[in-house]
Amino acid sequence: MASAEHAEGASDAALRISELRISLEYHNRRYHEDDDPEIPDSEFDLLVNELRRLEEEHPELASESSPGVTVGGAPNTTFAPVVHAQPMTSLDNAMDADELRAWGSRIEKALDGEAARYVCELKIDGLAVSLRYEDGHLVTAATRGDGRVGEDVTANVRTIQGLPQVIDGVPSVFEVRGEIYMARSVFDALNVEATKAGERLLVNPRNAAAGSLRQKDSAATARRRLSMWAYQLGEAAFDVAPETHTETLDFIRSRGFPVNPEVAAFDSFDGVLDFCVSAVDRRHELDYDVDGVVIKVDNLDQRRRLGFTSRAPRWAIAFKFPPEERLTRLIDIRVSVGRTGRTTPYAVLEPVFVGGSTVSMATLHNEDQVRAKDVRPGDTVIVRKAGDVIPEVVGPVLSERPDGLDEWSFPEVCECPLKSRYVRAAGEADTRCVEPQCPFQRDQKIMYWASRGAMDIEGLGERTVVQLTESGRVRDVADLYALSVDDVEALEGFARMSAEKLVAAIDESRTRPAWRVLTAFGVKHLGPTAAQALASKFGSVRAVLDATDDERAAVDGVGEVISASVTNWWADERHRDLVDRLETADVKFDVMPASSTAASNLAQTLDGRAVVITGSVPGYTREGGIEAVVARGGTSPGSVSKKTYALVVGDGAGASKLSKAETFGIPVIPAADFDRFLETGNLPSEG
């Protein structure tokens, strides 16, 4: 019986191994040869890890040609083959801190306890290349290919600015290896150009870089404005060679090659772990994509002693960042209507965990984006969530598309009861619902009025707003101030106490500062910063609205565009009526925050201190919280470092920032204590 079960298990494993090898070979070709991958790296890594685990459990089924042990893909036949003098190997991966520590322990054991120094570098998400110089002249540039044989892309690499064509002071044979990439700013600019021209959009910077490098016409490559970071040497005939990787990088840099500045060396493995945590936090501050950290043993003699496995060096490993792209099924495409009538297509998804949270909806931006990406309900799609950015659908996996899926088309009428027609003006990317009485617009305007960045009415969420408007109790924001406790208690889900709390919160909002009232109106282009400047200058909401275009435009940080937008808004009789009704409802228009009387009078309680804010802080927008810190002499960078004085933590705080604060022993300030912290500068332990 046991023998039969074992045979059945081996048969199942053999079938799954075969499926995985076929799948991985296909996706390897798409990635390395076609520059058109269908699945995210994270999904590919899951398949590779599953294959390796099964091959380890069933060594009789292992193969030297398995994609679990091979590197890259076959060279593209469009370009001449180039045999690498030294193979371009891949790297093993560590998916979390425990796996990284385990690698460090293996290094220590392999070196018989001898101390090792480690160099950390960002893992650039691009295309690996090797540049060969002979007698100081660039003679060949080749892609990695399968690690042994790559493709000759010399003519295209010559178009990359910043790469030396001729160098002095190097050995007669000198190979520099690095990563070709496309900067995010270039990628965005190219997609703007493609949208205007009605051309297909680039999927992501990595694919764009790989495709650009393999253009038959080098002039086309030059137009893509590629870049490169050099990160090590291949063959190099030194008389006296560098002894460490750090020295090697210094030498490469001294010869005019661009070396990424985000490089650090550590004698302690704790430093390696800290660098990795920091890199996860900072990845979105860079103008290029990174998907991990590469950790290398610094001493080149120790590297030689550690050697290689069949596919990767033992002296290096890649710490992979948490996946920001995953696969899931697109259930439906729907359209939301904002407070200005602007429509946004969005995807309804099978829930998937990506970027640190479970995602069930994602933006599709606008009609042109849906058409360019050609996603259809029923597709398997790639979903991307990067940091705090709204999740988006990157595109479909066409090989997984079921037969018979119809192309999605933008609806002609709004889903609201008025069924008003959608309109897209000539030359605009946005489609709008142009009916001012659209219930969707009405509800969004009320929700915006109640939001934290505006009037900050706690407890007035979307569900409650919809109940209030659909029951006829509220037509616009002025009606909020006539609500009674009985009105609210009559809504579904409200007990007497919760109804009293909401009415009290609405009543409290009558005395919000004037800048919040201006912001809450939702005037196009008028954000909190400009609203604060206007309120401070003119002293009241009415004075701001009644000022001339020139008077408002002269205020620092406002200008002609914002001023003209305020004028247009105020010219609408419906808005004049709303302002009158709000005044009648005793909403104050002339409240000034105590700090606005004179910024110079604020106590500099945070002078010279760096305070990071993560999550939502009641009463403040993200910008408002930063401004409050700066007004008291501090700075508010976007990431935690050893120089951070304190971390202010609100709802939806970033886990990586909290983890890093704990690692560095940085004090944490609850959002509820933020105002007292601003006033005193004291940490919680200081009272």
Query: Which residues are catalytically annotated?
Result: 123
Q: Measured in Å, how far apart are the chain's first and last C-alpha atoms?
A: 71
Report how far residue 450's alpha carbon sits from residue 535's, in angstroms, rounded to the nearest whole number: 19
Report how far residue 371's alpha carbon sits from residue 264's, in angstroms, rounded to the nearest whole number: 44
Report how far residue 636's alpha carbon sits from residue 79's, in angstroms, rounded to the nearest whole number: 50
Name the token pair of 193: 């150009």
Report how far residue 245's alpha carbon sits from residue 265's, in angstroms, rounded to the nearest whole number: 10
Report how far residue 120's alpha carbon sits from residue 245's, in angstroms, rounded to the nearest whole number: 11
Report how far residue 41's alpha carbon sits from residue 354's, in angstroms, rounded to the nearest whole number: 13
CA atoms within 13 A on the CB side of 63: 10
| 3-state secondary structure labels for all residues of 478-539 | HHHHHCCHHHHHCCCCCCHHHHHHHHHHHHHHHHCCHHHHHHHCCCCCCCHHHHHHHHHHHC
Cβ neighbours of residue 413 closer than 8 Å, sequence gap 6 or more: 419, 420, 421, 422
Residue 278 and residue 639 in contact, taking contact as beta carbons nearer than 8 Å: yes
Query: Going along 88-199, which residue ranges are E strands?
Result: 93-94, 118-124, 127-134, 137-143, 149-151, 173-181
Residue 610 and residue 626 in contact, taking contact as beta carbons nearer than 8 Å: no
Report how far residue 640's alpha carbon sits from residue 617's, in angstroms, rounded to the nearest whole number: 17
Name the token pair of 615: 């999550």
Residue 354 and residue 323 in contact, taking contact as beta carbons nearer than 8 Å: yes
